[in-house]
Structure 1
């Protein structure tokens, strides 16, 4: 399970490479550094089931801390570094973190430290430079904090390098993305196994499905606080491969990194595909992606045309899986099956059995859309929130759980996503799924991004409204924003007229400078702000 055996067999092999600098962390270094940090956790009094949290940009120390938790019985929460200090404080206190690790190079590092001031121990990552009003080179407060802070490197140097006789397996306790409310911590299974135990469900699943092995070079272009990237890194290390980490996604650089490191496996979100597909043809043609064996995507529905275009470009290496941080079920689909079943996210049975249910919990026949439930022997729980946990259970089957996604299955049990329950639009008594409209607009050249929502209407209940950003920045800066918006509106209507029923075509187009997305590509529709609309144009289908 943990990479100690690879440190013995291939000590100098890179476990992690930072794509921007080329800096490498070998298996021997990962073994020693994670062991020292795990021993520090034990010396600080942490036992099985206690919590640590880490807030940092993509860097080696996140992975070291992750494996330190995995080999000490500790639960680790990797926190979204883009959250405000108050949002971070909520998660740190909600998970009862006894130790918090904070990168001093974050812009708001000092504010984060202040927000976590009552946590028993704070360890600061990142060299000798001090953040404003923050930590000095000696590892002690440099500007007003009321308590001493520990320096990460000093902690490792002082910790024992000796491996104890028994290392309990830890786990992550990650939080949902919070796109529809407060993030929720998902409790893992009980921690009662030794770290050497190979029976880790996610490692077994993705190793078998996607072929992770010692030759794997896994590229992560996404933030490591997200469930998929950190768990794919874990799977890579469990099999002795190398993880290549980008500090942030940039479409041209991603193609360069694939070629430079001969990447075999990678994980993406659909918005990354869209941005790469919109690169100039000559750039895409020149990119060498021949080393790729698997390019897996998830986190949001992928428009059919986007997936088809990626398969045409990269070949049949595209895989999609549907899952959630809650890990209540998994489906997966290969390139071949995706072309044969456009829009599907695959069959169930990998983990959990899918059921499509109506508003009263009745199971629906193939072809009818409803709430997606997964049947599992072990249902997930939200930390400290029995009411939210209860809200995920089927009224008649307590082992059936749902996270709020809508979908339907065909006769062959291929699952298709419709949308989130909260985003469903009811207009004139008809249900409209925003994702269907967003998918159709994803590759419209005139737009760089789009979000579709329902807006209250006295006559129809709701009307369909599209928020969009222009692909051409000059159009957004036009001397007459309204005229530029009207030109975009004409493109939208012309594009959708033959693709969607008239009632699904948005009634209004709102042009904005930027849409609220998380760094993992998820739309945060509750943060759409009408006050930031540059121009609002009625659409006439």
Structure 2
């Protein structure tokens, strides 16, 4: 088998396709490696050294990957920034991580300029024109070869910030050679049956500022899989790209499943998708009827996992899911999953509790927040606040995020359960359920519903939705308030910002979380 890793492949097969940019331009392994070397030399000439941080505000494309690999081989922590953030939010992260360099795209010029000024970030470079930023393509020119000092860097993603200030997930550097592909990368892809080379083509259809999306793209490149990039995801365009490039694997979220399923049948059936070997999904709960329809359409290639930026996770194949619908699987090799009750004891099979994960001996901390790090841990295990249970065979079922649980009249109500049922109504395109204040019960259940095109909201539909839910969930779980919205606040990766819907109802009042 040929050697793996960006630089090994570039030396052996420099003309092989590494990236197909959103515009259709093909970037070879030789070109990508050369760009990473140039930028790496430039960063070192600025004085950046092992352990420093570089922030990226870039859309999907070869430029982001070149900077990422440059940082990876020079011992830097890479901080990808969500380009939907405001200038103030970006400035907070730049300051919090003490970024020594900041690379932005001209598409985000106003926010990038304002954030860099507020945070006082040095080393500013841009793709295109950004006031106060030098051109990225000038960084590291005038030299040649690899950066002088090379050691493996790491990703430092920031938590999503759906509540409170986001914090960077910081891991110690390993000191290993960046030419050596970590065994964890080949092992992780092996979980999905993805081997090096083997004619694989990865389709990247979500923003690279998400940890999983960036990991799937960069590991694909390290293993010799060409990566086809989408900038702004479109369901019809995705099907076209799968057929055109003979895509073998991708990573998606349930929101994208919904939009694919909403395409007219002649469109859905008009493309050859037979090249697809594994469609991996995670990042958000998938309603059972949505998952079932995808399996009916795509077949057993649909594989689900549950994990966190902090490490560890579970996996379930299509065949397993059909036997245990709704499960997110069992702990993958080397990981542990426990469900602990409020006293810190293991809950019995079927008993609800907080989900804790552990990935081997991996360690992390939330940068600058010892209290958050301490509260998330129990020994070597950590939690991101999800509530769930394990069945007798160790399969994990998720119920909700602890901060989203509604306590009404002293009874726990799990919004995800109600959302999953409401999503099965033919008139519902998307739904969010949360608790709002009630003088007697403490909280009451409220639903905000996004309707399918052509469906009108109002009292008649509200009655229909409640009737639809009756018998599917207990009476005390029925929403007392149903409102309608043109669109729910989700990011491109499907993350629902429920606080934007919930917080106005709690203004001036303290909510238990």
Q: Under TM normalisation by the shorter chain, which class is it?
A: over 0.9
Give 3-state SS (helix, strand or coil) of 1:249's partner: coil
Shift of 1:200: 4.2
CA contact (8 A) 2:449 2:483 kept: yes
Give 3-state SS (helix, strand or coil) of 2:139's partner: helix
Give 3-state SS (helix, strand or coil) of 1:179's partner: coil
Match for residue 155 of structure 2 among 160, 166, 172: 172
CA contact (8 A) 1:86 1:115 kept: no
CA contact (8 A) 2:104 2:112 kept: no
Aligned residues: CA RMSD: 1.9
Shift of 1:338: 0.7
Give 3-state SS (helix, strand or coil) of 1:528's partner: helix
Shift of 1:260: 1.3
Structure 2: gaps (5+ residues): 506-513
Q: Deviations over 1:423-473 (max 9, x none)?
A: 011122221111111111224221221100011212222111101122126
Tell me: CA distance 1:341–1:115, structure 2 relative to 1, closer, same or farther (3 Å).
farther
What's 2:510 paired with?
Answer: none
Q: Does 1:381 align with 2:356?
A: no
What's 1:8 paired with?
Answer: 11
CA contact (8 A) 2:42 2:141 kept: no
Q: Does 1:406 align with 2:387?
A: yes
What's 1:289 paired with?
Answer: 273
Give 3-state SS (helix, strand or coil) of 1:105's partner: helix
Distance 2:149 2:504 in 1: 58
Give 3-state SS (helix, strand or coil) of 1:36's partner: helix
Describe how 1:362-381 pairs up with structure 2 within 5 A: 362-376=345-359, 377-381=361-365
Distance 2:65 2:114 in 1: 20
What's 1:46 paired with?
Answer: 48
Q: Does 1:353 align with 2:336?
A: yes
Distance 2:237 2:24 in 1: 13
What's 1:446 paired with?
Answer: 427
Structure 1: gaps (5+ residues): 135-140, 142-148, 476-483, 533-541
CA contact (8 A) 2:201 2:228 kept: yes
CA contact (8 A) 2:242 2:273 kept: yes
CA contact (8 A) 1:331 1:351 kept: no
Describe how 1:477-516 pairs up with structure 2 within 5 A: 484-516=457-489
Distance 1:461 1:293 in 2: 49
Normalised by the length of structure 2, the TM-score is: 0.93
What's 2:188 paired with?
Answer: 205
Tell me: CA distance 1:200–1:68, structure 2 relative to 1, closer, same or farther (3 Å).
farther
Distance 1:346 1:529 in 2: 30
Match for residue 20 of structure 2 among 17, 20, 35: 17
Q: Deviations over 1:123-148 (max 9, x none)?
A: 1112xxx45xx3xxxxxx5xxxxxxx
What's 2:107 paired with?
Answer: 105
Shift of 1:209: 3.2
CA contact (8 A) 1:102 1:109 kept: no
Shift of 1:194: 1.0
CA contact (8 A) 2:327 2:395 kept: yes
Shift of 1:401: 1.2
Distance 2:256 2:196 in 1: 25
Tell me: CA distance 1:527–1:337, structure 2 relative to 1, closer, same or farther (3 Å).
same
Distance 1:358 1:474 in 2: 43
Match for residue 242 of structure 1 among 226, 240, 254: 226
Describe how 1:222-233 pairs up with structure 2 within 5 A: 222-233=206-217
Give 3-state SS (helix, strand or coil) of 1:466's partner: strand
Tell me: CA distance 1:379–1:163, structure 2 relative to 1, closer, same or farther (3 Å).
closer
Q: Deviations over 1:377-423 (max 9, x none)?
A: 333210111011011122xxx21211111110000000111110000
Shift of 1:6: 1.0
Distance 1:436 1:261 in 2: 38
CA contact (8 A) 2:91 2:116 kept: no
Give 3-state SS (helix, strand or coil) of 2:243's partner: helix
Describe how 1:419-438 pairs up with structure 2 within 5 A: 419-438=400-419
CA contact (8 A) 2:192 2:278 kept: no
What's 2:508 paired with?
Answer: none
What's 1:144 paired with?
Answer: none
